[in-house]
Structure 1
Amino acid sequence: MKIAIIGSGIAGSSLYHLFKKSNDEVIVIDPRKRRIFPSLIHSLLLVDDDVLLAKKSLEFYREFNIPLKEYPSFTIGKIDKRLLDEWTEAGARIEEKYINWLNTEGIYAENGDRLVYINTMINNVPIIKMPAKITEKENKAIVTVNGKEISADLFILSAGPWNNELFNVKTKSYYCWASLSITEHAKLDKMFIYDYELNFYSRPFLGLGINTAIIGDGAIIEAKPGTKLKVDPYEVLNRAKKRLGNVTPIYTSGEFCEGTPDMRPMYGRILDNLYFVGGFNGYGAEVGPGVAKLLYEFIKSGKENRKYMLDRFKNVKDFSLGKEPHEL
C-alpha cells in the first residue's frame, strides 16, 4: 500500500515510522514552515483517557529510540484521587510532599515526566519539501504538489495548525508560547512544575542545574499560522514570581497549535481516500504518537476509539477554543 502523508510534525513523523515498519510505501510532503523545537514535554500526568494516549506515546518513543530525559515533577493544586490512581497505573511514582523552597505542598512524581527530543524524530523523516494542495472530486481527495498530482492509495492530513487551511476540518489554529527565563532557583532546571493555583508551568531548559527555566501557560490567542504576534511575557511571569521568586525573561517564543471544539485530539476518515489526525491542543508530544497509533490501527484493521473519532463534531458549525486539556 502506498501512503502519502501531508505534514511531518509529531503525528506525520510517527505515522511514517509505523507504516514503514509494516513495509508500506510512504512519502511525506511538508514545506517545513514550522519551527522544530529541540525538545518538548512528555507527561503521563494528564486527564482520563489522555493518560492512556500518553502511555502509548511513551511506548512509541522507546520502540523507535527517540531520545528521552527523565525529570521529577511537582504538581500544585487540588487533584482528584481518581487521577492520582490513573497516574500510578500508568507508571508514575507519586507522593504528597512539602517543598520548602516553593513554600507549598503538592504531588511529587518520578517517572511521570520527561523531555522528548522530538527534533530527532522529525528531522530523520525524508520529505518532499514543498506545499501540497488538496481538492475533492467524487468524495475522493486529489493531492497536487507544484501542479503535479500525487499518486497514492490513501492520503493522511496531519499538517497541524495548517490542517484547516488545506481542508475543511473542525479545528482552529492558535498561538502558544513560553519564556526562557533566568531564575532564582537552579533546581528549576532539573524539575517540572505544574501550578494549577497560579496557572503556569516551568520546565528545564538544559537540565544542567543552572539558573534557567522555560516558563509558560499564557492566554490562547486564536490566529492563522504564520501571523506575527507580540506577547507580554509578564502575563505569565508575574504569576510565576509569586511561587518561584525572581524570574527574568531572556527570550519569549512560540509556535502555532491546533485546537478542536472540545480541546481533545481527533482522527478518522474524511473522504474515501483521505484520513485525518490532529487537534493536539498544545500537547502533541504527550499524545501525538498515541493518536497516530489509533489512526494506524483504524486504517489497518478498522479498529475505532470512539472518544477520539472526528465524527463527534459532525453537527458543530462554529466554536471557540477553550482551555488546554492538560490543565487540570
Structure 2
Amino acid sequence: MKVAIIGAGILGSSLFYMLKEAGHDTIVIDPRVRRIFPSLIHSLLLKGKDVELARTSLDFYRKVRIPMKEFPSITLGKVSEDLISLWSSEGVEIKEQFIDWINASGLVAIGGDRLVYIKRLIDSVPIIREKASIYSSNGKAYVKVNGKSIDADIVILSAGPWNNLLFKVNTKSYYCWASLVTTEERRLDSIFIYDYELNYYSRPFLGIGTNTAIVGDGEAIESPPCKKIKVNSEEVLSKARKRLKGLFNIYTNGEFCEGTPDMRPAYGKLLDNLYYVGGLDGYGAEVGPGMAKLLLDFIFHGHETKEYRLERFKGIIDFKLGKEPHEI
C-alpha cells in the first residue's frame, strides 16, 4: 500500500519507520521550515494512559536506536499516591527526600526521565523537501506538490502547527519556549526538576555537569506558525530563582506546537483515505511514537482508543489553550 505522510516531525518520522517495517511504500513530505532541536525531554512521569504512550515511545526509540541519556529527576509539589504507584509500576524508582541545595522536599526518581536526541530520528528519514497541499473530491483526499498530484492509497496529516492550515481540524498553533541559562549550581546540568509549586521546570542542557541548564514552562502564546514572537523570560526565571541560585539568562527561544481543546493528543479519520494525528501539546517526544502506533492500529486493524479519538471535539467551535499535559 502507498502512504503519503505530510509532516516529518516526531510523528511523521515515527510513522515512516513503522510503515516501512510493515512493508508499505511510504513517502514523507516536509518543507523543513521548522527548527529541529537536538534533544527533547522524554519522561514516564505523566498521567493516566499517557504513561502507556510514553512507554511505547521509549520502546520505539530503543528499537530504532535513537541515542538517549538518562538523568534523575526531582518533582516538587503534591503528587497523589495513585500517580506514584503508576510510575513505580513502570520500573521508576521513587523516594521522597529533602534536597538541601534547593531547600525543599521532593520526589527523587531514577529511571523516569531522559533526553532523547530526537534530531537523529528526524534527520534519518528521507523526505520530499517541498510544501504540500491537500484537496478533496468525492470524499477522497489528494496531495499536490509543486502543482503535481501524488498518488497515494492513504494520506496522513501529521504537520503539527500547520495541520489546521492544510485541512479543517479543531486545533491551534501556539509558541512554546524556554531559556538557556547559566547557573551557580552545576548539578542542574545533570538532573531534571519539575516544580509544580512554583510552575517551572529545569532540564540539563549538555548533560555533562556544566554550569548551564534550560528553564521553561512559560505561557503558551497562540499564534500562526513561523511568526516572530517576543516573550518575557522573567515570567519563568523569577519563579525559578526562588529555589535555584544564580540563574542568568543567555537567550530565550522556542518553536511552534499544536494544541487541542483539552491539550491532549488526538487521531482520527477525516476523509475516506485521509487520517490525522497530532495535538502533541508540547510533549511530543514522550507520546509521539505512541500516537503513531495508535493511528496505524486504527487504520490497519480497526483498533480504537477512544480517549485520544479526534471525534471527542465534535461541536467545539472555539477554545482557549490550557496547560500542557505534562504539568501534573
Compute the TM-score of the two structures, normalised by the length of structure 2: 0.99
Q: Does 1:31 align with 2:35?
A: no
Task: Compute the displacement of 1:44 (Å).
Answer: 0.3
Letter in 2 for 1:22: A
Q: Report what 1:110 is aligned to.
A: 110
Hey, what does 1:249 align to over in structure 2? 249
2:296 aligned with 1:296: yes
C-alpha displacement of 1:296: 1.1
Amino acid corresponding to residue 64 of structure 1 in structure 2: V
1:305 corresponds in structure 2 to 305
Q: Percent identity?
A: 62
Within 1, Cα distance between the matches of 2:315 and 2:232?
Answer: 37
Q: 2:124 is matched with which residue?
A: 124
Residues 88, 94 of structure 1: 8 Å contact kept: yes
User: Are the aligned partners of 1:7 and 1:159 in contact in 2 as well (CA < 8 Å)?
Assistant: yes
Show the counterpart of 2:170: 170
- Whether 2:267 is the aligned partner of 1:283: answer no
The one-letter code sitting in structure 2 at the alignment partner of 1:40 is: L
CA deviation map 1:170-189 (0-9, x unaligned): 10010000010001100000
Q: Secondary structure at the match of 1:101?
A: coil
1:100-141 deviations in Å (ceiling 9; x for gaps): 001000100010000000000000000000000111211111
Mapped to 1, the partners of 2:79 and 2:137 lie a distance apart of: 50
Contact in 2 for aligned 1:267/1:275 (Cα 8 Å): yes
**Equivalence for 2:180:** 180
- 2: CA distance between counterparts of 1:89 and 1:224? 40
Is contact 1:188–1:202 with CA below 8 Å preserved after alignment?
Answer: yes
Counterpart CA distance in 2 for 1:172 and 1:184 is 38
How many angstroms apart in 2 are the aligned matches of 1:296 and 1:63? 17
Please state if 1:95 is matched with 2:99.
no
Partner of 1:46: 46
What amino acid maps onto 1:293 in structure 2? K
Instruction: Give the Cα–Cα distance (whole angstroms) in 1 for the partners of residues 113 and 311 of structure 2.
Output: 32
* Counterpart in the other structure of 1:71: 71
- Conserved in 2, the CA contact under 8 Å of 1:52 and 1:90? no
| Aligned-partner Cα distance in 2 for 1:91–1:141 | 43
Q: 1:171 touches 1:279 (CA, 8 Å); kept in 2?
A: yes
Larger deviation, residues 316-325 vs 6-15: 316-325
CA distance in 2, matches of 1:290, 1:222: 26
1:86 is displaced (CA, Å) by 0.7
Q: Does 1:134 align with 2:134?
A: yes
**Cα deviation digits, residues 168-224 of structure 1 (max 9, x gap):** 101001000001000110000000000000000000000110111000000110000
For residues 21-76 of structure 1, give each alpha carbon's deviation from its aligned partner in whole angstroms, at most 9, with x where no partner exists: 01110000000010000000000001111111111110111111111100000000
Deviation at 1:266, TM superposition (A): 0.2
Q: 2:211 and 2:269 mapped to 1: Cα distance? A: 47
Q: Would you identify which runs of 4 or more consecutive aligned residues in structure 1 move more than 2 Å?
A: none
Question: 1:246 deviation in Å?
Answer: 1.5
> What stretches of structure 1 of length at least 5 have no aligned partner?
none
1:266 has 2:300 as partner: no
| Matched residue, 2:158 | 158
**SS state at 2:241 partner:** helix
Deviation at 1:152, TM superposition (A): 0.5
Q: Which amino acid aligns with 1:99?
A: I
5+ residue gaps, structure 2:
none
Instruction: Measure, in 2, the Cα distance between the counterparts of 1:44 and 1:306.
Output: 21
1:209-255 deviations in whole A, cap 9, x for unaligned?
01110000001100000111111111110000001022001111100
Q: Give the counterpart letter for 1:162 in structure 2.
A: W
State the distance in 1 between where 2:247 and 2:136 align. Answer: 51
User: Counterpart of 2:303 in structure 1: which amino acid?
Assistant: K
Alpha carbons 1:77, 1:195 under 8 Å: kept: yes
SS in 2 for 1:201: strand
- Partners of 1:272 and 1:101 lie apart in 2 by 57
